[in-house]
């Protein structure tokens, strides 16, 4: 089996770029698709510069269900003549099937804290604008699958929940290139705070990536930042990958400790933009605006809150 070349492709959106990755396999694959405009404005010209055409793509591999990773899936599928197989984990598949599911997800978590009466409908309008179409995936994943990309090339699937319930990592077998989407957050992207819905699952996934998968190269969905605010690239070598995974675990541990203290003392609504988690922001010296989309501060701390409440209910 010859080596599979990997080509990162960036599409601008918001405060940080969206990254897709073209795998130049016998059956070419794209990992993540950006938003609705990304296939035509980002991916197609990038492939043309390589002497390739977007119609050649046979696999669309989605790392998870957030707008900026699956928004272009339907458009890209159409550009391949509907020949590409669209792949996503079953837990995140509802976000591919329904634009409204994104507004419902916002309503269930972030809307509880953001005090924005128009937030749900704004989220719904965003989903309508940047998700190119609703669709049924071709392949539903659970983790553990091997996807054949022709010519002896295969990609193995590792379930890496935490950021979302259906986050997965794709590993090019034999060369240990690992594509994790947003499953490795380090200290966050432009917002300066890591975002994950389930802290326990996130921690376990990071440990699995570090101890079992052990990437030779690690490809990130965004240029996440270290503790000093310096961005990593999106293509990390083995040493950088170990460092990013270690820093991700250290940051999660510090947030977990601060959240535990805050929750043990009881939550109190205040006028602070960090309410009811103002003590956590103060303890971690987090001073960025938590209201700026995608609001990872509230997504993450709500995860610790749910865990705490489940534990309290179990004790009773």
Q: What pLDDT score was predicted for residue 316? A: 37
pLDDT above 90 (res 314): no
Q: Which residue has the tokens 């609705």?
A: 36
**CA 33 – CA 217 distance, rounded (Å):** 20
- Which residues in 175-201 are b (16+ Cβ under 10 Å) and which e? eebbbbbbbbbbbbbebbbbbbbbbeb
CB 289 within 8 A of CB 310: no
Over range 192-220, report the average pLDDT.
Answer: 98
What residues make up the domain containing 183?
5-315
The domain total for the chain is: 1
Q: Say if CB 186 and CB 236 are below 8 A apart.
A: no
Report the predicted TM-score, pTM, of the whole model to 2 decimal places. 0.96
User: What pairing do the DSSP bridges indicate for beta strands 18-24 and 5-11?
Assistant: antiparallel
Q: What is the mean pLDDT of residues 258-287?
A: 97
How many Cα atoms within 13 Å fall on the side-chain side of residue 170?
31
User: DSSP characters for 210-277?
Assistant: IIII--SEEE-SS--B-TTSPBP-SEEEHHHHHHHHHHHHHHHHHHHHHHHHHHHH-----SSTTTT-
User: pLDDT digits over 37-96, tens only?
Assistant: 999 999 999 999 999 999 999 999 999 999 999 999 999 999 999 999 999 999 999 999
**C-alpha to C-alpha distance for 251 and 244, rounded to whole angstroms:** 10
Q: What is the rounded average pLDDT of the residues 248-252?
A: 98
Query: What CATH number should be reported for the domain holding residue 214?
Result: 3.60.15.10
Cβ-contact 193, 184 below 8 angstroms: no
């Amino acid at each position: 089996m010859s080596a599979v070349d990997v080509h990162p492709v960036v599409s601008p959106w918001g405060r940080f770029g969206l990254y897709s990755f073209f795998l130049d396999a016998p059956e070419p694959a794209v990992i993540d698709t950006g938003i609705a405009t990304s296939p035509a404005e980002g991916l197609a010209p990038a492939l043309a510069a390589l002497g390739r055409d977007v119609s050649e793509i046979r696999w669309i591999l989605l790392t998870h269900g957030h707008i900026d990773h699956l928004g272009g899936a339907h458009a890209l599928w159409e550009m391949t003549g509907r020949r590409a197989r669209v792949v996503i984990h079953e837990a995140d598949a509802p976000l591919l099937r329904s634009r409204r599911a994104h507004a419902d997800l916002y309503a269930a978590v972030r809307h509880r804290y953001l005090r924005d009466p128009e937030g749900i409908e704004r989220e719904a309008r965003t989903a309508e604008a940047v998700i190119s179409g609703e669709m049924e995936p071709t392949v539903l994943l659970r983790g553990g699958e091997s996807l054949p990309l022709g010519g002896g090339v295969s990609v193995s699937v590792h379930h890496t929940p935490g950021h979302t319930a259906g986050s997965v990592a794709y590993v090019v077998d034999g060369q240990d290139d690992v594509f994790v989407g947003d499953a490795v957050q380090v200290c966050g992207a432009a917002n300066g705070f890591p975002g994950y819905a389930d802290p326990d699952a996130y921690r376990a996934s990071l440990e699995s990536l570090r101890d079992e998968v052990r990437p030779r190269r690690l490809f990130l969905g965004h240029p996440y930042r270290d503790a000093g605010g310096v961005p990593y690239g999106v293509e990390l070598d083995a040493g950088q990958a170990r460092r990013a995974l270690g820093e991700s675990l250290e940051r999660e541990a510090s947030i977990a400790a601060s959240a535990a203290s805050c929750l043990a003392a009881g939550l109190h609504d205040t006028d602070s933009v960090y309410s009811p988690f103002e003590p956590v922001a103060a303890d971690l010296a987090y001073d960025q605006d938590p209201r700026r989309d995608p609001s990872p501060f509230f997504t993450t701390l709500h995860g610790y809150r749910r865990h705490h409440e489940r534990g309290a209910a179990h004790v009773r």
